[in-house]
Amino acid sequence: MEQVIANGLYLGAQYALIALGLTLIFALMNVLNFAHGQMYVLGGFVTYTIYGQLKLPFVVALVCSGVTLAVIGGLMEKFLFRPVVRRSKREESTMLLAAATAFFLDAVMLLLFGEKQRGVPKIISGVFVSDRLILPYDRILVGVLAILMIAAFMFFMQYSKPGRAMRALAQDRVAAQLMGVKVERYSMIGFALGAMLAGVVGGLLVSITGVNSGIGGPISIKAFLMVMIGGAGVVGGAIAGGFILGMMESVGLTVLREYGDITYLVIFALLMIFLSIRPHGLMGKPWG
């Protein structure tokens, strides 16, 4: 049972980190970023290239993944989403734009990095073994790093000036604007930050799970699932959603294994029931 709990916590930490960027972008701009999974994959490929191919230190690769995606996210916000949000009166327009961006990134990555699964050397070798628990050291490190990053993100949002501005935007866009918050600037910063988180977690996890150009879509779906559980646009909700999903997967795959692959069937069924009772997820409205 200890192994199952440890697996769940590890999965939860990485899931939470994946969901954070998505929920941030949704909170700030009301945009469902369907390309979030593709951004994760691109971050993975940047780390693969720099750490796996060019043999530079892993930390350098991770920083490059974050910076690359932050730049791409900022540019996407400025040149794609901002004009559409400004001109369109229909929310579906941004959704379609996000979906188109996802397909575009998928195609570009397939061309640039090929169809194969890519992996990088382990960042730390060795496995922690006790009577009841087996955990590779690299997973422990990634889990700890994920939790530290989540904490740093929360700290940044809570106490920094841009963090406060973004929270104000998420709470009430018009009121924030009237109070002097530069909406366009902080929307761009928020989108870049969300994309950066996707890139960093993609880079971080490439050392464990590798990366291939086709996994963006499934990653996005899982991220949406976590956001729906926690409550769209709520950072605490995304973290809770990530840990809940990780734990449900881990427990389900152990307890229900005799019945075939029904773990996700059960998870989706529970989600349907849960959403019919709490349509806004665990934490309801955007943060305050």
Measured distance CA(26)–CA(93) in Å, rounded: 14
Mark the segment that binds another protein (CB under 8 A) among 66-74, 186-194, 245-253, 278-286: 245-253
Q: How many CA atoms lie within 13 A of 97 on its CB side?
A: 17
Q: 8 or 73, CB closer to another protein?
A: 8
Mark the segment that binds another protein (CB under 8 A) among 92-100, 175-183, 185-193, 251-259: 251-259
Residues 35-64 that bind another protein (CB under 8 A): 52
Measured distance CA(197)–CA(191) in Å, rounded: 10
* Residue tagged 């692959």 (tokens): 261
Residues 148-177 that bind another protein (CB under 8 A): none
Q: 28 or 208, CB closer to another protein?
A: 208
At 119, list the tokens: 């992996």
Mark the segment that binds another protein (CB under 8 A) among 144-152, 155-163, 232-240, 253-261: 253-261
* Cβ atoms of residues 265 and 213 within 8 Å: no
One residue of 3, 30, 171, 177 binding another protein per CB under 8 A: 3
214 lies in the binding site for another protein (CB under 8 A): yes
Q: 28 or 42, CB closer to another protein?
A: 42
Q: 79 or 258, CB closer to another protein?
A: 258
134 lies in the binding site for another protein (CB under 8 A): yes
Mark the segment that binds another protein (CB under 8 A) among 28-36, 150-158, 169-177, 210-218: 210-218
Closest contact distance (angstroms) between CB of 182 and another protein is: 38
Measured distance CA(233)–CA(36) in Å, rounded: 14
Residues 75-104 that bind another protein (CB under 8 A): none
* Burial class of residue 1, CB neighbours in 10 A (0-12, 13-18, 19+): exposed
User: Which residues have a Cβ under 8 Å from the Cβ of 160 and sit 6 or more positions away?
Assistant: none
Residue closest to 190 by CA, chosen among 43, 52, 33: 33
Mark the segment that binds another protein (CB under 8 A) among 120-128, 144-152, 165-173, 228-236: 120-128
* Alpha-carbon separation of residue 235 from 113, 153, 286 (angstroms): 32, 10, 8
Measured distance CA(274)–CA(139) in Å, rounded: 31
4 lies in the binding site for another protein (CB under 8 A): yes
* Alpha-carbon separation of residue 96 from 71, 88, 262 (angstroms): 22, 12, 32
207 lies in the binding site for another protein (CB under 8 A): no
141 lies in the binding site for another protein (CB under 8 A): no
Letter string b/e over residues 54-87, b meaning 16 or more CB atoms within 10 A of that residue's CB = eeeebeebbbbbbebbbebbbebbeebbbeebee
Judged by the rule CB under 8 A, the positions of this chain that interact with another protein are: 3-4, 7-8, 10-11, 14, 52, 106-107, 110, 114-122, 127, 129, 134, 136, 139, 205, 208-210, 212-215, 217-219, 249-250, 253-254, 257-261, 264
